[in-house]
């Protein structure tokens, strides 16, 4: 049995646990909105048509912020279509996902839904095909209290209080040739700088996110961030990162080590951002909004006919059914985001319902938790206070995509009178015995220990069997004399709470 030892030092603080790390993403794509969060004829629907069974699951998930309304969708979006009387809202073609958008759910309705879930709105503006003035108009409509044309329009539309949106995304994946209105780094950097400066002239306390490269595998990666930030470093607060992972050619070992690629991505973007900051002799420190991350079987979807020549309302698109291994990777990626909470201060699991999502629904039927729901929900519930940098001594194994990877990974958080340790065993066949030195934390008992694992790493939760995979109590976890001892099953994710 592989053995690993982890040492925790109460003084080895990375940074605070950022509640925005536990954000999510709702895009007008597939069934994320329609028959996902919104289904007026569903037995659980409220007066706005939102499914309250989904609301309850989102609250359980612990999602803190929601990026909206895209994604690729935002690059063709006219925000004015989504407000006012529903019967007057136009149906538009969405070129990004080749579908029809009814605009029956818009800004005001979505903001009311967010209040039900207890989440904060992160709003994206269309800088790809529109520009500065529409962004300023949306800002006025959303945030100005009253007494102007657009704030009074919001009030007339039934929303007397401003939405007070703090975080704004300046477009989406603007270096991607799939993006409607994609641009060069130079062109995007200029329009992003002008848009950001104008928005901050309206409200200097806004938090603005500029688009980084669409992924670390893009030919533009690195140079894109440098060029864009040289234009708008003084006007924005975050640069975005997007990353998706999947099993390639059955290589489960490499897939389980996906967090190593995320670490590389974060380090590279921060190095580029800091380089630009130093060149400009700026005292500002640019942070990262990792506002799209997940497991996504993109290769399989590209080979399907999900996006075809038909123009359909809310077609079934990107509805990945996740496995135990997928959940272990999602849990590990979330651990990685916590490890960099000094600079990664916002993140969004993409997406929330039906579309590569932790929550699934059936029209007129139930809603259920995917395997990936559980590590996210448990981490959001247990992580608080400060993130500690663990010292991990574990055997390694070779991977084709990431080189040598440790069999065991870990991160910990500590708060007044409690702590949490999050662990992953990447071994495909053997359990791992792990000891964690927690003496510096001054805690004496295990209050909760949960492990997500299965004899079949490809086991899934489905409509027919929604409880096939659930976390189970890990009775091997014992804390004695300041040392936590626990056994981790192969291909597993574990959370242990201490008090």
Which pLDDT score, from 0 to 100, does residue 279 have?
95
pLDDT digits (tens, 9 = 90+) for 418-432: 999 999 999 999 999
pLDDT digits (tens, 9 = 90+) for 356-365: 999 999 999 9
Which pLDDT score, from 0 to 100, does residue 304 have?
82
Mean pLDDT of the chain: 97
Which of 225, 292, 386, 487 is an active site residue?
292
Which pLDDT score, from 0 to 100, does residue 301 have?
85
- Quick one: how many helices (H) and strands (E) in the chain? 11, 27
Average pLDDT over every residue of 30-56: 98
Residue 221 pLDDT exceeds 80? yes
**375 neighbors 331 (Cβ within 8 angstroms):** yes
Q: Could you confirm whether 173 is annotated as catalytic?
A: yes
Which pLDDT score, from 0 to 100, does residue 483 have?
97
Burial 198-210 (b: 16+ CB within 10 A, else e): bbbeeeeebbbbb
> Helices 324-339 and 373-382 sit at what angle, rounded to 10 degrees?
30
Rg for the chain, CA atoms, rounded: 22
Which pLDDT score, from 0 to 100, does residue 470 have?
98
Dihedral sign of CA atoms 25, 30, 32, 33 in order: positive
Question: How far is it, in rounded angstroms, from Cα 429 to Cα 18?
Answer: 34
Cβ neighbours of 78 (radius 10 Å): 13
Question: How far is it, in rounded angstroms, from Cα 413 to Cα 418?
Answer: 9
Average pLDDT over every residue of 240-254: 97
pLDDT digits (tens, 9 = 90+) for 295-349: 999 888 888 878 778 899 999 999 999 999 999 999 999 999 999 999 999 999 9
- Across the beta sheet with 13-16, the strand order is 13-16, 386-388, 408-415, 418-425, 492-498, 446-452, 472-473
pLDDT digits (tens, 9 = 90+) for 254-266: 999 999 999 999 9
Which pLDDT score, from 0 to 100, does residue 318 have?
96
Question: How far is it, in rounded angstroms, from Cα 69 to Cα 71?
Answer: 7
Paired tokens of 324: 């135990």
Question: How far is it, in rounded angstroms, from Cα 472 to Cα 377?
Answer: 14
Q: Name the band, by pLDDT with cuts 50, 70 and 90, for residue 27.
A: very high
Q: Is 265 helix (H, G, I), strand (E, B) or coil?
A: helix
pLDDT digits (tens, 9 = 90+) for 166-214: 999 999 999 999 999 999 999 999 999 999 999 999 999 999 999 999 9
pLDDT digits (tens, 9 = 90+) for 392-425: 999 999 999 999 999 999 999 999 999 999 999 9
Average pLDDT over every residue of 474-480: 98
Please tell me the class of the 3-9+388-498 domain. Answer: mainly beta
Question: How far is it, in rounded angstroms, from Cα 311 to Cα 35?
Answer: 17
Which pLDDT score, from 0 to 100, does residue 2 have?
85
Q: Name the band, by pLDDT with cuts 50, 70 and 90, for residue 438.
A: very high
Question: Which of 113, 122, 112, 118 lies closest to 348 in space, CA to CA?
Answer: 122
* Percent of all residues in the chain with a pLDDT value above 70, rounded to a whole number: 100
Q: Could you confirm whether 120 is annotated as catalytic?
A: no
Which of 173, 207, 225, 386 is an active site residue?
173
Q: Where are the domains of the chain?
A: 3-9+388-498, 18-382
The fold for domain 18-382 equals TIM Barrel (3.20.20)
Q: What pTM, to 2 d.p., does this model score?
A: 0.97
Half-sphere exposure for 470 (CA within 13 Å, toward CB): 8
**61 neighbors 82 (Cβ within 8 angstroms):** no
């Amino acid at each position: 049995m592989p053995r690993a030892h982890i040492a925790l030092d109460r003084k080895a603080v990375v940074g605070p646990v950022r509640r925005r790390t536990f954000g999510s993403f709702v895009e007008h794509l597939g069934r994320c909105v329609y028959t996902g969060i919104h289904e007026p004829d569903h037995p659980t629907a409220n007066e706005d048509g939102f499914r309250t069974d989904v609301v309850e699951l989102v609250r359980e998930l612990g999602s803190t912020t929601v990026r909206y309304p895209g994604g690729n969708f935002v690059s063709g979006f006219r925000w004015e279509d989504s407000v006012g009387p529903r019967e007057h809202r136009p149906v538009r073609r969405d070129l990004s996902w080749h579908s029809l958008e009814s605009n029956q759910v818009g800004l005001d309705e979505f903001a009311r839904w967010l209040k039900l879930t207890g989440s904060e709105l992160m709003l994206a503006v269309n800088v790809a095909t529109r520009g500065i003035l529409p962004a300023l108009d949306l800002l006025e409509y959303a945030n100005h209290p009253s007494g102007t044309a657009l704030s009074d329009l919001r009030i007339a539309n039934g929303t007397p209080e401003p939405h007070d949106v703090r975080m704004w995304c300046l477009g989406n994946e603007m270096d991607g040739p799939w993006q409607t209105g994609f641009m060069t780094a130079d062109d995007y950097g200029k329009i992003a700088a002008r848009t950001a400066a104008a928005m901050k002239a309206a409200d200097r306390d806004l938090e603005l996110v500029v688009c980084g490269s669409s992924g670390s595998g893009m030919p533009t990666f690195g140079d894109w961030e440098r060029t864009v930030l040289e234009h708008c470093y003084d006007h924005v607060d975050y640069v975005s990162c997007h990353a998706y992972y999947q099993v390639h050619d059955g290589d489960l070992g490499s897939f389980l080590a996906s967090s190593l690629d995320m670490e590389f991505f974060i380090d590279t973007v921060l190095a580029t951002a800091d380089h630009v900051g130093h060149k400009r002799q700026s005292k500002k420190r640019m942070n990262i909004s990792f506002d799209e991350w997940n497991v996504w079987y993109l290769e399989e979807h590209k080979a399907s006919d999900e996006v075809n020549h038909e123009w359909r309302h809310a077609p079934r698109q990107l509805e990945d059914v996740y496995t135990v291994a997928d959940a272990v990777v999602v849990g590990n990626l979330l651990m990685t985001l916590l490890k960099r909470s000094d600079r990664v201060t916002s993140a969004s699991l993409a997406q929330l319902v039906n579309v590569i999502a932790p929550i699934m629904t059936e029209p007129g039927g139930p809603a259920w938790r995917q395997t990936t729901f559980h590590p996210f929900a448990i981490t959001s519930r247990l992580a608080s206070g400060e993130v500690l940098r663990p010292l991990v001594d574990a055997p390694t194994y070779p991977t084709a995509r990431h080189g040598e990877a440790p069999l065991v990974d870990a991160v910990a958080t500590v708060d007044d009178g409690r702590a949490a340790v999050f662990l992953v065993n990447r071994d495909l066949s053997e359990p791992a015995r792990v000891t964690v030195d927690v003496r510096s934390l001054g805690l004496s008992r295990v209050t909760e220990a949960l492990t997500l694992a299965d004899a079949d790493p490809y086991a899934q939760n489905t409509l027919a069997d929604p409880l096939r995979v659930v976390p189970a109590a890990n009775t091997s976890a014992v804390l004695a004399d300041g040392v936590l001892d626990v056994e981790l099953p192969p291909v597993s994710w574990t959370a242990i709470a201490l008090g």
